[in-house]
Chain A
Amino acid sequence: MMTLFTKVHAQEEEVYRNPSKESLAYHDYRTTESSPPYGLLKIKKLIGQLKLKEDNEGGGLLALNYKTYALLSLREKFTYHLIHGEAYSQICDAYPPTQDEHKKIFGYLPDVLDEYNWSEGQLKFLRENRDSVMALIKECVTKKNHVGVNFKRAIVEINGIEMIPFLIKIYNSEKKDGDLLTLLNLLLRRNKDAAFLASATYKKLYGEEYSFTSFILFNKANEALIIKRATDFYNAKSN
């Protein structure tokens, strides 16, 4: 009887193989968040005090109290919101590294802020201050030449289509951040761009058979196509 109980299944056992170094490095690159410099140390200290409480019984507070928050400047609030989530994140939205991540343009951006997420109040801040948010993101990105995943997510949240030329310029400077192309796709999708909705790219990334890990190949043809569509969309909106 016990023999029956202890049977194990007959799947072939193997030594675990990590994705390639290039793939892992790209995973780290695309999941890196940007840290706005505005009052960064002060904001990190305030957030750190919140997180310390979480380890104690009765802890779990995620948001600054109103008085502390109200005393922050707009730039400091920007920093606070971009690096800290006041709500929790769903438990299956973080996808681990996959093979050949650097060769893929994904349909969606990676998870941001780990086990946290932006609260409704935080999203409201981003939307209500979208001009300032876009200006501050540009300022930060220009210095570092990198758009962190939190910045990309914020641009989607505020529907920052005015940033399309800037995003293309940043992409073209290194041509390695495939998530900038993802971001362009997400903006076109959000704005229901007819040409994009009718495309094979849309079908593959967001169509009937999509999944949260759907991707197209990160190659020159797809790169050119995405940039052209985004440029056409922007120009049409600008005229």
Chain B
Amino acid sequence: MQKAINIISLFFITAIATHSAFAQHSGNYVLIPAGNYVVGKKNHSLNPLRTVQVDSFYIATTEITNRQFELFIIRTNYKTDAERLKNAMVFETGLNEFEWLNDTTACWRYPNGINRGGIEHKMEHPVTCISYKDILAFCQWADVRLPTLDEWEIASRAGAATDYFFGKTDDLIIYYANTWRGKNHLLADNSDGYIYTSPVASFKPNSWGLYDMYGNVFEFCSGKLSNSQNVNIAHARGGSWWCSKNACRFYNSVDIGRVHIHASFSNQGFRVVKNKLL
């Protein structure tokens, strides 16, 4: 009961058998009401402290999974950028910080390349190795959209004023996020049970019931940081399984990453938003 009171959001189970197969699989959304919200951080050059006004929106409680993305592929026969261009960037233990390998065999079915295994037993993990362009195609098919940069931050903060929805420092991150706990990426780190992605909702949610807002996969958002920005750039937030204390550390509500719209990395994914639930 207390938990229910604390969660200042509504959960909706979509029980409607609609034309959208996506809706059948992703039933959980949280309503974020219209209003004024404070986002950003003092002296952050990309994300300064400010108040923004947003309309209400429903945001999925989890990241989109391999199972959900597979349905999209089956229904549409869509070819992802990585499948088409053979340009996916993958990770293997032993690489220096921020080094990724181009693997022509990698795509959403084999997020770190065929040699490192497929998703057969990872259908509830977030889909990765997809580009911003691929995600837009998914969203169009599923009649959903990406959260804006501000919407994502509002949802991730769950009312908190601090860098993390659970406090000022990342001391509690192990309870809420699948991140890289090693000092560097030269040795494998599975101290949280996962080297790469984890099944969605494996860690504790924020107080609004949203899982994996930090870690697991970087989540793409819509929108630009400025009007003059390169059209080939997209933004993603929340950090990923790759992010560690020493490198990246973007598993928070403040930082904003950037990537080419055709780039496919094995730590990039997304969650979706709807303006209304049918």
Q: How far is the CA of A211 from the CA of B218 in the complex (A)?
A: 20
Q: Which residue of B lies closest to A9 (CB)?
A: B161
* Contact assessment for B33 and A119 in the assembled complex, using a CB-CB cutoff below 8 Å: no
8 Å CB contact of A92 from B48, B87, B159, B255: B255
* Contact assessment for B38 and A120 in the assembled complex, using a CB-CB cutoff below 8 Å: no
B212 adjacent to chain A (CB < 8 Å): no
**Secondary structure at chain A's binding surface: helix, strand, loop or mixed?**
loop
* Contact assessment for A92 and B8 in the assembled complex, using a CB-CB cutoff below 8 Å: no
Interface mask (A17-31 → B, CB under 8 Å = 1, otherwise 0): 111000000000000
Contact flag A114-B35 (CB < 8 Å), given A88-B263, A91-B268:
no
A208 adjacent to chain B (CB < 8 Å): yes
Interface mask (B229-243 → A, CB under 8 Å = 1, otherwise 0): 011110010010011
B residues less than 8 Å from A88 (CB atoms)? 87, 89, 100, 259-260, 262-265
A166 adjacent to chain B (CB < 8 Å): no
A11 adjacent to chain B (CB < 8 Å): yes
B25 adjacent to chain A (CB < 8 Å): no
* Contact assessment for B259 and A91 in the assembled complex, using a CB-CB cutoff below 8 Å: yes
Q: How far is the CA of A94 from the CA of B98 in the complex (A)?
A: 10
Contact flag A58-B84 (CB < 8 Å), given A5-B33, A8-B38, A18-B45:
yes
B37 adjacent to chain A (CB < 8 Å): yes
Kindly provide the distance from the CB of B95 to the nearest chain A CB, expressed in whole angstroms: 11
B71 adjacent to chain A (CB < 8 Å): no
* Contact assessment for B259 and A115 in the assembled complex, using a CB-CB cutoff below 8 Å: yes
* Contact assessment for B8 and A9 in the assembled complex, using a CB-CB cutoff below 8 Å: no
Residues of A within 8 A of B (CB): 2, 4-14, 16-19, 51, 54-55, 58-62, 87-94, 96-99, 114-117, 119-120, 208, 210-212
Q: List 15 A-B contacts (CB under 8 A).
A: A6-B36, A8-B36, A11-B38, A11-B161, A19-B45, A88-B262, A89-B259, A90-B98, A90-B100, A91-B236, A94-B258, A97-B45, A115-B259, A120-B101, A210-B246
